[in-house]
Copies of this chain bind each other. A is one copy, B any other.
Amino acid sequence: MCNCSTDLNNIFRHLTPEEHASISPDRNCDYYTRGSVIYNEGHRISGCFCVNSGIIKIFKTGIDGKEQIITFAKKGDIIGFRSVLSGELACTTAKVIENSYLCYIPGNILIELFKSNAEFSMDLMQLACKELGEANAYITDIAQKTVRERLAEVLLILKNDFYLDNDQFLQITLTREELANIVGTATESVIRLLSEFKSDKLIELHGRRIKFLDIPGLKKTANIF
């Protein structure tokens, strides 16, 4: 069952009941398993997706096919709207990393809603502006911080986005390579630095699961004040 349009805090909260009805007839929702590609960089996409559950990674493919993860999408997020509204080709690829249930929203409907509902368009604009602010901040970080600082910062960002469970374990599990592709470094560097963080009693490692021991220490390592 799709709850894209009923959740009160998401991007669709200012739609009228009729508009709600227009965007998510159940036939447009579907399950996607880990590894599924939702859309591909460089392709034209006909609509966007609302995430009901699961986690999607959004990345660009750079030199030698190396992934650069830009962000993750989770419950309540909307993906692909940028390309739909700008009319450009997709500038990223979206790939499922935790089994997901997504609702498809055709591009023309999204555009129609944008033009007809000023509150909705303002919400979407604010979302884009917020993402723009985050992107600018990340440019500054990548350009100025060391790999060590960035890795610590990425762990803290992941904590804010996906939270810790009752045992202080990060609620998203990523491969070492995926971590490297967020930070923008080599897999081996991530492995070595995670070991150092462990030696420094900042985290514990249990396979891919990461337990947070010392958040102030991580902030200090990340050079955040």
Contact = CB atoms under 8 A, between A and B. Distances in A.
A40 to B, nearest CB: 15
The number of times this chain is found in the oligomer is 2
A125 B122 contact: no
Nearest to A182: B143
Given A63-B223, A68-B139, A130 B88 contact: yes
B60 A136 contact: yes
A143 B126 CA distance: 27
Contacts of A92: 136
Contacts of A140: 60, 62, 68, 70
A125 B136 contact: no
| Closest 3 pairs between A and B when the two form their complex, measured CB to CB | A143-B184, A135-B135, A86-B129
A32 interface: no
Contacts of A130: 86, 88
A127 B92 CA distance: 18
A21 interface: no
A62 B132 contact: no
A63 B114 contact: no
B87 A136 contact: no
Nearest to A136: B70
A74 interface: no
A124 B125 contact: yes
Contact of A136 (B85, B135, B137, B183): B135
Contacts of A126: 85-87
Contact of A133 (B63, B66, B86, B133): B86
B144 A135 contact: no
A121 interface: yes
Contacts of A83: 129
A31 interface: no
A116 B115 contact: no
Contacts of A60: 136-137, 139-140
Contacts of A124: 125
A141 to B, nearest CB: 7
A91 B125 contact: no
